[in-house]
């Protein structure tokens, strides 16, 4: 997304975090699996027995400690602890959770080998993302980067005339610093970082942009904007005839044309370079064929009016959101992205995914629910200073899925994979 000079300078300072450019470049550089071996895969791959599940769970617990809720050993959840997460509570919905990896990530925030939990009932999904994760790891890992971080709320105001609307908008833009102070009274973690105005006849939309720390932030920006609007109504030289706290111009829980203009959540990107021999060995196709497929699919996406063009980013984002207690409705904007695949001069495959609207958090909301907390613990994403890490993991997972599905389509084994993993044959 294009950003102003001031925002770009602030972003550069935050990304560097006092580190030299050489250190930053080093963190994004692939790590040779032979020199830095990844951890072994989870045991009992391809088996559906209770013994296999127990073995896999034991391997994960050896890494991060006990996982009683995922393991089904914990007592039932106390209904009183769910206040703020659910109303009229009757019970817990269970969704199978699998793990992919190891997935090697060389990011500014996520840096290591991760076993990533994905919750889904779609057969073949975990197997596909696991294949992509292992492919990336064999290539030395995926570079990931989070840039812009912001969440919007867009109140709307109605005036008697265009003239009043214009005068109000001119007054409003002068109030930014004052409203930044007002917003700070409603949160100790967020900050008002930008304000845009939009006039449509006698309507004025004020689009407030907030930095929300490690929270996903939808409630935070609502509370801050409500406080600003209270101040606005008390001080505005021109009173609106009516107004609404959200006038549907923030992009909340929907794919919109704003997706690549103004980040909502965290803007994350991931890239990997795959040697041709590795593509041929692991995906049974070639970089040239994968790039050819990408070109055709991109043109197909444009013709169908797709907002963003990808294979199945939403599969990975939804499964990760379910596992880690994110707001699943935000998949509508979070899965908007662009996948790119190109053949480089040496014949290797360059692949990248850009996700401009990752609404993720590691504090508050559903992240405190039992299984969500355990899944976040698997990723070292519990608590403060972890949300950008989770966003980079999400981008890496999305890229793993894109590589796997494109490789499957190019090799001609897409339908065979779903026949093998996507049908319930009463496995024992």
Question: Could you read off the pLDDT of 78-122 as tens digits, one per residue?
Answer: 999 999 999 999 999 999 999 999 999 999 999 999 999 999 999
Q: What integer pLDDT is reported at residue 371 of this predicted model?
A: 96
Domain count, the chain: 2
In the set 130, 214, 271, 327, the catalytic residue is 327
Task: Verify that 350 and 405 share a domain, yes or no.
Answer: yes
- Is residue 427 assigned to a domain? no
User: Do residues 378 and 233 both lie within one domain?
Assistant: no
Same domain, 304 and 382: yes
- Taking each helix axis as running N to C, give the angle between helix 387-411 and helix 414-421, from 0 to 180 degrees, rounded to the nearest 10: 110
Indicate whether 400 and 319 sit together in one domain: yes
Is 90 exceeded by the pLDDT of residue 65? yes
Kindly state whether residue 4 falls inside one of the protein's structural domains. no
Least confident of 5-14, 169-178, 212-221: 5-14
pLDDT over threshold 70, residue 280: yes
Task: Please name the helix (run of DSSP H) or strand (run of DSSP E) that holds residue 313, with its range, or none.
Answer: helix 313-324
pLDDT digits (tens, 9 = 90+) for 367-388: 999 999 999 999 999 999 999 9
Residue 209 maps to which CATH number?
3.30.70.420
Separation CA 105–CA 133 (nearest Å): 10
What are phi and psi for residue 194, nearest 5 degrees? -165, 160
- 141 and 123, same structural domain? yes
**Of 244, 259, 281, which one is at a domain's C-terminal end?**
244
- Would residue 51 count as lying in a domain? no
Domain residue limits at 107: 19-32+94-147+267-421
**Mean pLDDT of the 149-161 span:** 95
Q: Please, is 350 exposed, middle or buried when counting C-beta atoms within 10 Å of its C-beta (0-12, 13-18, 19+)? A: middle
What is the separation, in whole angstroms, between the first and last Cα of the chain?
50
Containing H/E element for 192? strand 191-200
- Name the pLDDT band for 420 (thresholds 50, 70, 90): low
Mean pLDDT, the chain, whole residue set:
92
Residues 208 and 349 in one domain: no
d(CA 339, CA 319): 19
* 116: Cβ contacts below 8 Å, ≥ 6 apart: 99, 100, 101, 103, 129, 133, 320, 378, 379, 393, 397
State whether 161 and 220 are in the same domain: yes
Predicted local confidence at residue 427, as pLDDT: 46
Task: Quote the Cα angle for 361-365-371, to 5°.
Answer: 90
Q: Tell which phi-psi region holds residue 195, choosing left (phi > 0), alpha (psi between -120 and 50) or beta.
A: beta
Residue 262 backbone phi and psi in degrees, to 5 = -140, 110
Q: Are residues 163 and 288 in the same domain?
A: no
In a domain, 398, yes or no: yes
* CATH classification of the domain holding 348: 3.90.770.10
Residue 30 DSSP code: -
Catalytic residue among 10, 122, 194, 280: 122
Q: Quick check: 146 pLDDT over 80?
A: yes
Domain annotation covers residue 394: yes
In the structure, what pLDDT confidence band is assigned to residue 23 with cuts at 50, 70 and 90?
confident
Residues 309 and 417 in one domain: yes
Q: Note if 418 is an active site residue.
A: yes
Residues 137, 213: one domain? no
342 within some domain: yes
Q: What is the pLDDT of residue 1?
A: 58
Radius of gyration from C-alpha coordinates of the chain = 23
Kind of pairing between the strands at 97-107 and 142-153: parallel
Buried b (16+ CB within 10 A) or exposed e, 181-203: ebbeebbeebebbbbeeeeeebb
Cβ(167)–Cβ(202) below 8 Å: no
335 and 222 co-located in one domain = no
327: annotated active-site residue? yes
Whether omega for the bond prior to residue 323 falls within 30 degrees of 0, making it cis, is: no
The answer to whether residue 25 is domain-embedded is yes
* 297 shares its domain with 226: no
């Amino acid at each position: 997304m294009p950003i102003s000079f001031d925002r770009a300078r602030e972003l550069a300072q935050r990304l560097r975090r006092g580190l030299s450019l050489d250190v930053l470049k080093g963190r994004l550089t692939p790590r040779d699996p032979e020199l830095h071996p990844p951890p072994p895969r989870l045991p009992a791959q391809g088996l559906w027995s209770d013994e296999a599940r127990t073995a896999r769970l034991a391997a994960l617990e050896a890494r991060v400690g006990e996982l009683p809720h995922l393991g089904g050993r914990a007592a039932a959840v106390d209904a009183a602890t769910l206040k703020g997460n659910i109303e009229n509570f009757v019970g817990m919905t269970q969704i199978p959770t699998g793990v992919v990896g190891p997935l090697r990530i060389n990011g500014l925030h996520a840096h290591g080998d991760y076993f990533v939990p994905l919750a889904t009932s779609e057969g073949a999904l975990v197997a596909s993302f696991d294949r992509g994760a292992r492919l990336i790891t064999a290539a030395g890992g995926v570079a990931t980067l989070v840039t812009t971080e912001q969440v919007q709320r867009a109140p709307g105001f109605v005036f008697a005339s265009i003239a009043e609307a214009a005068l109000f908008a001119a007054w409003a833009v002068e109030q930014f610093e004052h409203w930044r102070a007002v917003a700070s009274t409603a949160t100790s973690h967020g900050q008002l970082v930008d304000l845009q105005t939009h006039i449509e006849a006698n309507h004025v939309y004020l689009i407030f942009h907030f930095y929300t720390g490690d929270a996903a932030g939808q409630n935070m920006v609502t509370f801050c904007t409500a406080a600003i609007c209270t101040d606005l109504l008390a001080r505005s030289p021109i009173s609106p005839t009516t107004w609404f706290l959200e006038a549907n111009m923030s992009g909340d829980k929907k794919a919109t044309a704003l997706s690549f203009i103004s980040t909502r959540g965290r803007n994350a990107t991931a890239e990997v370079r795959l040697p041709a021999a590795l593509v041929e060995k692991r995906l049974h196709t070639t970089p040239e064929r994968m790039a050819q497929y990408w070109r055709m699919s991109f043109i197909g996406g444009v013709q169908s009016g797709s907002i963003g063009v990808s294979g199945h980013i939403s599969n990975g984002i939804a499964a990760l959101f379910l596992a880690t207690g994110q707001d699943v409705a935000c998949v509508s904007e979070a899965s908007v992205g662009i996948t790119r695949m190109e053949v480089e001069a040496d014949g290797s495959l360059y692949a990248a995914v850009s996700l401009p609207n990752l609404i993720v958090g590691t504090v508050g909301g559903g992240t405190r629910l039992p299984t969500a907390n355990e899944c976040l613990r698997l990723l070292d994403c519990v608590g403060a200073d972890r949300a950008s890490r989770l966003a980079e993991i999400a981008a890496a997972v999305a890229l793993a899925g894109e590589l796997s599905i494109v490789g499957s389509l190019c090799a001609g084994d897409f339908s065979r994979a779903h026949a093998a993993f996507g049908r319930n044959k009463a496995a024992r």
